[in-house]
Structure 1
Amino acid sequence: MSSGIAETVSEGPSMDFSADPDAVSAVAEAHRLAYGHLFNSAFAAETSLIDPLPHQRIAVYEQMLQQAPLRFLLADDAGAGKTIMTGLYVREMLSRRLIRRVLIVPPAGLVGNWEREMCTLFRLPFRIVSGEDARDGNPFLGPESDQVIVSIDTLAGERMFGHLKDPQTDAYDLVVFDEAHKLSANRQPDFRVHKTDRYKLAEALAGAEVEDEHWELPWSAQHLLLLTATPHMGKNYSYYFLWRLLLPDALSTYDAFDDFPRESRERHFIRRTKEEMVRFDGSPLYPQRNCATLSYELSQGPQSEQELYDETTEYIRYYYNRAGVLNRSAARLAMSVFQRRLASSTYALMCSFERRQEKIAGLIDDIRNGRLIEEQLIRQQRGLDKLNDVFETQTADEETASEDGGEQHEEFEDKALSGTIAVTLSELEVERRTVEVLLNKTRDLFKTSEESKFEKLREVLSDPQYLDEKFIIFTEHRDTAEFLVRRLEGLGFTGQVALIHGGLPYQERERQVEFFRRPAAEGGANYLVATDAAGEGINLQFCWLMVNYDIPWNPARLEQRMGRIHRYGQKHDPVVIVNLVAGGTREGRVLKTLLDKLEAIRRQLQSDKVFDVVGRLFTGLSMRDYLEQAVTEDANAVAERLEGDLTEQQVQALAERERVIFGEGGEVRQRLAHLNDEAEQENYRRLLPGYVRRFVERAAPLLDLRIEGDPEATFALVPARPRAADALLPALEVYSEEARERLTVYKPASHEDAVWMHPGEPVFDGLSATILSRFGRDGLKGAVFTDPYATEAYLFHIALISVEQHSQDNAGPIVPQPLESRLIGLRQSSDGTVEECPVEHLLLLRGAHGFAPSRVPLATLARDMVADAAQFIREDVSERVVQAHRQRRLDDLPARLEFVNRGFDFQAAELAAFRSHLSKMVRDGNRRAQGEFSKVKERQRSLTASRNHRLAELQVEPDLIQAGETKFLVHALVVPAQDSEEAERYDADVEAIAVEMATDYEKRFGAEVQDVSRPELARRAGLTDWPGFDLLSRRAEGERRAIEVKGRAGTGGIEMSDNEWAKACNLRDEYWLYVVFDCATSHPRLMRVRDPFAKLLVRSRESIAYIINLGDVIEAAE
């Protein structure tokens, strides 16, 4: 439901209670369903295509939603469902009217994934904003900009960021950074801080102090959510700078962060490992991983793989050694490219030799034609020494696409292949001849189609135990990926191979993933060939077989690959990872040692955890060094050294080190009993599908719409008069033509082509908005209802109240920040007494159609009495809610003041130390330091004013919390039952006898029975005031029964209310109707009906109450 629904009702007409009770009830229910979180605190879980897991519920409902404003670092292990937790939080905050504008900032490769999951799972229509949109105008203006996704590098671009700075751009309430570890910043030994543009963007949006006016924004986000599975990769300062985004004032320096108490950190941070995450029954969430390393032998003899390997390795070894002597790191990187590609595929090696030959030929040509002299060649090579090995220094998700659409490591390889030890023309000529010989040998071997590694892959794919299963095949190189696609298609798999690499736009990646997801029988692919850079953000839980065609030298990349299939939602146990290694080669011996040792540690620890930390185990170690040494030294000795460097004690030490850094993750298992109790209570608080179905069935005829089809399955809303459905057409057009005819109120088991109607879904919201637009004034006119339990007439009101946080902007007016919106019900007696009453009270009443309000004297006094009700809201209800919010702020205020004060103290100390350092540099004649010295002095002078200003802001915050406007939405004149038959059905003495008999019956079966028939009893059981049944029975074998009890003095029909109808629809087999006849005699008779909704109620079509005759009860009883 849109946040503007309450505002669709204008100032009301005269309150004379002449409106149709059905219309007034529909208005009340439209508002109530729009504020579903007030009745079920996990309402977003109800209206989403997910069932939150224990760790997800803890994060969202116990931590994130409890923090206002949200400044949070969600750092669960990979595959935990951080996107789902974000979606849940966003949906809940939108439902609560606490946010309107949301900006999600992921890496480019994840943009499509975010858009798809927000739309599919949560029906959140996020718009993807691209660089092209920025050229066409400001994409952050207008309602369509309220929920947007922009890749981080696009948003940091000058043109796009300029649109954020536009004075017309409204502030975003919530900003989410995915893969937040990419917001890198680090402090140098000389106190200077190096910040990437990504980090500067995050500073601007987070409201942190920025040093460059280019990054200044006229606003900052109230709520900030950072998502990462790797918050700390052995870099303390980088980890600190992430935290600084959350609390810029309190954590102004690293020392302030180091001093930040553990319990305070826990409010803003959570991290759970895969081992901690379990299902509600305590079973592990993640399947086991079976990792098998298969060795293959190179072909032998003349013109064989072994011959090519030996000669290429000799070339690599010679240049490795020469580059080491000459201190030419670029030349060593060039050789590492050949070493990787030699192990990858003959085709990839051939492509690299071709590029190497082209590079050397270009240098020779430049020298011969005078465009390059030897001194320039030397300088050029020295410049290349600054190259970083992308494979080693970055994980796949940290790579960025190059300008030509390639992968970042391809750009690195291309530059690295220019690295040479040659400094003269003759030396270049020698290497060109060597490369030419190797290139020809590679071409000759490639033409034979002989590839032992591919034959080993074919063995794996054709294994009978994997028949008709899907495989993902990872390689580091696009050349090898394209080779694999051609070879697989050559085996007869044309049209069955999907391909993803980092050069594909996200739309094409999505298409390839869907191609792979689709069953082969429906034209889908059985094989997905992917490069590492393409692995970012691709969730492949439907696949459980993975082949590492290449073994990455960076173990963190190996861990990332496994995360594509070993994640939340994987149904197969175990998942299987197959590693292909040429065990007889120098590199193969080292890599096989690594993989075998990881498997040995897994067995020794009886835990898969080693696979989750393998990337972090190598912090400070370099697999590239081991593999280079395997070529230049004795490979067996290198393998033995690696085995000694990697131990189970290291894994345990790393786990302990991370526990110290992150704190206890919070043992999810220990919370299961409490979480299961909460889930049980929420089951009884649910609004779907029953209340939604009842609303749709009641609203449709009011709007001249007819329900065509079966509400138990799918149906359509058909106009009963021309143009009656016009108001719903914009919402229906969001869906396919087939889906528009297939509406349902039941959560679909899969992504079927149907429209699931619920609050927050366009068709349902359109229906609700139309009811409010057409009948909102009727709600304010009021209608007459009967209460069978009442002895005198009274008034019932539904109102909307709100609480706001005001802030004084010196340059403009007060801008309120919503803190809470709440529907309240009021019962007002004829003597003027006003008391709060559950909003759902109206569901217990019957519309008094045709009843003349003038028959009740209270009706003539009602208009004046509403003023008293408004005063009660203002002075009692609203004031109480406001004070509760103020008190929470006051309780936190001393700690917040202390942390901010200490933050400024630490900042002052750091500036003083930096000033002293710069002062020495100035004395030593460093001119650059003079400018820095002046800036530091200026910052020191302004620090006191900044401190006083921030502390003053904090101290006044509680006083700026105020009540917002009160809006009456519905009025009702409620009168006692008007006929004796109705009164008899609600005789209190008879009901007491019936409840007692039903209770005794349950206790005979050893059940624990709770009476929840009155609001105070229901609240004690954790239920809503009127749960829709009278008894909650828990039997010894675990069966639960929600029992509605009906009693008759003799015999006759019974009546069930709207509330009971909807609850019976929700609970079905768990809902029982116990009817006790002859309560006025000495021999009462009990009859029990299980699932009365299916057996009795769904047949009833009466307008408000459901009258069930005696014969039907007898027929349905067990």
Structure 2
Amino acid sequence: MLRIEELKPNLTVTGIIPNAVVRILAVETMGESCSVVYRSPDGQLGDRMVFRTDEAGLSLAEAERPWAFTASGDDFKLGLEAYRISLAHLFDPMMAVHASDVEPLPHQLTAVYESMLPMQPLRFVLADDPGAGKTVMAGLLIRELNMRADAQRVLIVAPGGLVEQWHDELFEKFGMSFTIFSREHIELAHSSNPFDEYDFLIARLDQLSRSDDLLEKLKASHWDLIVVDEAHKLSASFSGKDIKRTKRFQLGEQLRAITRHFLLMTATPHNGKEEDFRLFMSLLDPDRFGGKLKGDANSRVDVSDLMRRMVKEDLRRFDGSHLFPERWAYTVPYPLSGKEQELYDAVTDYVRNEMNKAERMVDGARRGSIGFALTSLQRRLASSPEAIYQSLTRRHKKLQDKLEKLDNPTLSEPGGARSLALPSSLVQALPENIWEADESLNSEDFENMEEKLADEASAAENRQELQAEITLL
């Protein structure tokens, strides 16, 4: 800071005019102020009054040569180190490994650096067995692409129960801070589209697939890399010549359209039906796998360029030893007592009989609910005699209540026969795929849903069938 009394001719000063260094030619002091005549860098003359309040912005300008080496050496070294790190991948092809808190195994390195990174753009299914460390592979890929400036915006889509695990592992092992998407982000978004405001985001699979509003917002965004965990949930199937697309599959098609790199991760890519597998692979390449396969429907397609699958028996450490011990699977039989066998046979016959009735139903949603409920009874049968006793007792009471509503018009719902159906509130709460409800719902919601279905879901379609089932129970 310069005081007014220190201003004199031939000084080079900053603060007289904005963002420029001037040379003072003359100074006339006037008490608490002074009149200054100066020459600006472009040679123009000027003058202005300088007051005591201007002193804080005045300072001497140091004359420096254009290419002088008089700057701070520490600042220069810091800038040079930052530039070196930005180019490190050119000299260290596995920079993400050295910049992360992981010790990758051979199959993880080959997946990232041999199978996925060379693909531009990336369209790939990582289908290694459970326990192979697919999250570590995805983290290395994200880190490597980010350091190469090829993934500045990353979206991870995972089942609800896995988002916290993704968030923690990416931060602890790779130092990457992701945001878990929630409804609050919609309300707080300045642009009304939260997908444009976060570069590193983790979203729940069903939260996106079930909301048309979120899908529209997602459609308007663009990402460098999208990773989908448990990607086998993005399923579709053929119904005759038509394709039956689930909401999750439609989400997968939309994700493919808004990203440069697209990675699907699943330990079970194939459900045994070749046509369904082709539809799943169409998420990566609709031109190659779209449409129904002509000729032999069971003929397998070559997907070695788009998918890698390694089973546990093939996973090894660097010293060549097996990563997992050899597996031996066998059944251990045990005898039931006479009464246990009688209970087991009676419940099994009841479940089998009701299953056969459900299979003849046209309503696929109700058929699935009944099948799920009956399967729940079998699980409780295997749990303990008390568990199956309580379940059958509650079921008997619920079905008896349905029968009373049918017999009493004042208790029945409009239409009468609709009393045989599940309550509308329960139907609306059911997930799209009820057999995967344990993964899409938290444990408490899943138990409540399972209990209600086991109590109320029935294949009876009229009063006589309902009475017969109650008698059997």
| Map 1:873-892 → 2, pairs under 5 A | none
> Could you tell me which residue of structure 2 aligns to residue 149 of structure 1?
202
Distance 1:69 1:285 in 2: 32
By relative contact order (CA 8 Å, sep 6+), the higher-ranking structure is 1
The DSSP-based 3-state class of the residue aligned with 1:111 is helix
| Contact 2:313 2:326 survives alignment (8 Å) | no
Q: Does structure 1 residue 244 correspond to structure 2 residue 244? A: no
Distance 1:187 1:293 in 2: 36
- When residues 353 and 61 of structure 1 are mapped into structure 2, their CA distance, relative to the original with a 3 A threshold, is same
State which of 355, 372, 381 in structure 1 corresponds to 2:394. Answer: 355
> Could you tell me which residue of structure 1 aligns to residue 24 of structure 2?
none
> Could you tell me which residue of structure 1 aligns to residue 89 of structure 2?
37
Distance 2:121 2:371 in 1: 51
The DSSP-based 3-state class of the residue aligned with 1:424 is helix
AA aligned to 1:192 is D
The DSSP-based 3-state class of the residue aligned with 1:193 is strand
Q: Does structure 1 residue 286 correspond to structure 2 residue 324? A: yes
Distance 1:256 1:322 in 2: 38
Q: Does structure 1 residue 178 correspond to structure 2 residue 232? A: no
Q: Does structure 1 residue 159 correspond to structure 2 residue 176? A: no
Distance 1:322 1:98 in 2: 56
> Could you tell me which residue of structure 1 aligns to residue 161 of structure 2?
109
The DSSP-based 3-state class of the residue aligned with 1:83 is helix
1:679-706 Cα offsets, whole Å, 9 max, x none, are xxxxxxxxxxxxxxxxxxxxxxxxxxxx
Distance 2:445 2:454 in 1: 14
| Contact 1:319 1:421 survives alignment (8 Å) | no
| Map 1:541-690 → 2, pairs under 5 A | none
AA aligned to 1:176 is V
Distance 1:420 1:346 in 2: 26
Deviation at 1:248, TM superposition (A): 3.2
| Contact 1:356 1:418 survives alignment (8 Å) | no
Percentage identity across paired residues of the two chains: 35
| Contact 1:183 1:199 survives alignment (8 Å) | yes
Deviation at 1:49, TM superposition (A): 1.5
| Contact 1:183 1:202 survives alignment (8 Å) | yes
> Could you tell me which residue of structure 2 aligns to residue 548 of structure 1?
none
Distance 1:406 1:61 in 2: 40
AA aligned to 1:153 is D
Distance 1:154 1:322 in 2: 33
Deviation at 1:226, TM superposition (A): 0.8
1:371-404 Cα offsets, whole Å, 9 max, x none, are 459x954994799xxx9xx9xx986588532898
The DSSP-based 3-state class of the residue aligned with 1:104 is strand
Distance 2:93 2:422 in 1: 63
> Could you tell me which residue of structure 2 aligns to residue 344 of structure 1?
383
RMSD: 4.1
The DSSP-based 3-state class of the residue aligned with 2:304 is helix
Deviation at 1:86, TM superposition (A): 0.6
| Contact 1:174 1:222 survives alignment (8 Å) | yes
> Could you tell me which residue of structure 2 aligns to residue 88 of structure 1?
140
The DSSP-based 3-state class of the residue aligned with 2:167 is helix
Q: Does structure 1 residue 130 correspond to structure 2 residue 182? A: yes
Distance 2:404 2:421 in 1: 16
The DSSP-based 3-state class of the residue aligned with 1:418 is coil
The DSSP-based 3-state class of the residue aligned with 2:389 is helix
| Contact 1:401 1:408 survives alignment (8 Å) | no
Distance 1:79 1:239 in 2: 23
State which of 286, 310, 314 in structure 1 corresponds to 2:342. Answer: 310
Distance 1:294 1:264 in 2: 39
Distance 2:112 2:150 in 1: 15
State which of 226, 250, 253 in structure 2 corresponds to 1:203. Answer: 253
- When residues 381 and 128 of structure 1 are mapped into structure 2, their CA distance, relative to the original with a 3 A threshold, is closer
AA aligned to 1:152 is L
AA aligned to 2:254 is A
Deviates more, 1:109-118 or 1:411-420: 411-420
| Contact 2:160 2:439 survives alignment (8 Å) | no
Q: Which has the higher helix share?
A: 1
The DSSP-based 3-state class of the residue aligned with 2:110 is helix
Distance 1:257 1:24 in 2: 68
Distance 2:269 2:121 in 1: 22
Distance 2:295 2:97 in 1: 35
| Map 1:1054-1093 → 2, pairs under 5 A | none
Distance 2:78 2:294 in 1: 55
- When residues 60 and 263 of structure 1 are mapped into structure 2, their CA distance, relative to the original with a 3 A threshold, is farther
> Could you tell me which residue of structure 2 aligns to residue 192 of structure 1?
242
- When residues 341 and 267 of structure 1 are mapped into structure 2, their CA distance, relative to the original with a 3 A threshold, is same
Unpaired runs of 5+ residues, structure 2, are 1-64, 362-366
> Could you tell me which residue of structure 2 aligns to residue 26 of structure 1?
78
Distance 2:261 2:188 in 1: 29
Deviates more, 1:21-30 or 1:104-113: 21-30
1:904-923 Cα offsets, whole Å, 9 max, x none, are xxxxxxxxxxxxxxxxxxxx
| Contact 1:333 1:419 survives alignment (8 Å) | no
| Contact 2:420 2:460 survives alignment (8 Å) | no
Q: Does structure 1 residue 139 correspond to structure 2 residue 194? A: yes
- When residues 256 and 98 of structure 1 are mapped into structure 2, their CA distance, relative to the original with a 3 A threshold, is farther
| Map 1:209-248 → 2, pairs under 5 A | 220-248=258-286
Deviation at 1:294, TM superposition (A): 5.7
1:104-149 Cα offsets, whole Å, 9 max, x none, are 001111111111111111111111112343344343243xx11110
Deviation at 1:360, TM superposition (A): 1.6
Distance 1:323 1:33 in 2: 63
Deviation at 1:274, TM superposition (A): 1.5
Q: Does structure 1 residue 58 correspond to structure 2 residue 123? A: no
Deviation at 1:92, TM superposition (A): 0.5
AA aligned to 1:158 is D
Deviation at 1:180, TM superposition (A): 1.1
1:399-450 Cα offsets, whole Å, 9 max, x none, are 532898225971784376434487339x73x765664xxxxxxxxxxxxxxx
- When residues 416 and 124 of structure 1 are mapped into structure 2, their CA distance, relative to the original with a 3 A threshold, is same
Distance 1:416 1:308 in 2: 26
TM-score (norm 2): 0.70
1:858-904 Cα offsets, whole Å, 9 max, x none, are xxxxxxxxxxxxxxxxxxxxxxxxxxxxxxxxxxxxxxxxxxxxxxx
AA aligned to 1:253 is G
State which of 46, 50, 73 in structure 1 corresponds to 2:125. Answer: 73
Deviation at 1:283, TM superposition (A): 0.7
| Contact 1:73 1:226 survives alignment (8 Å) | yes
AA aligned to 2:204 is S
- When residues 255 and 25 of structure 1 are mapped into structure 2, their CA distance, relative to the original with a 3 A threshold, is same
| Contact 2:128 2:310 survives alignment (8 Å) | yes
Deviation at 1:174, TM superposition (A): 0.6
AA aligned to 1:82 is K
| Contact 1:83 1:114 survives alignment (8 Å) | yes
Deviation at 1:341, TM superposition (A): 1.7
> Could you tell me which residue of structure 2 aligns to residue 846 of structure 1?
none
- When residues 97 and 334 of structure 1 are mapped into structure 2, their CA distance, relative to the original with a 3 A threshold, is closer
1:223-266 Cα offsets, whole Å, 9 max, x none, are 111111111111222212222222234544355999xxx99843
Unpaired runs of 5+ residues, structure 1, are 1-12, 208-219, 301-305, 436-1118
- When residues 288 and 317 of structure 1 are mapped into structure 2, their CA distance, relative to the original with a 3 A threshold, is same
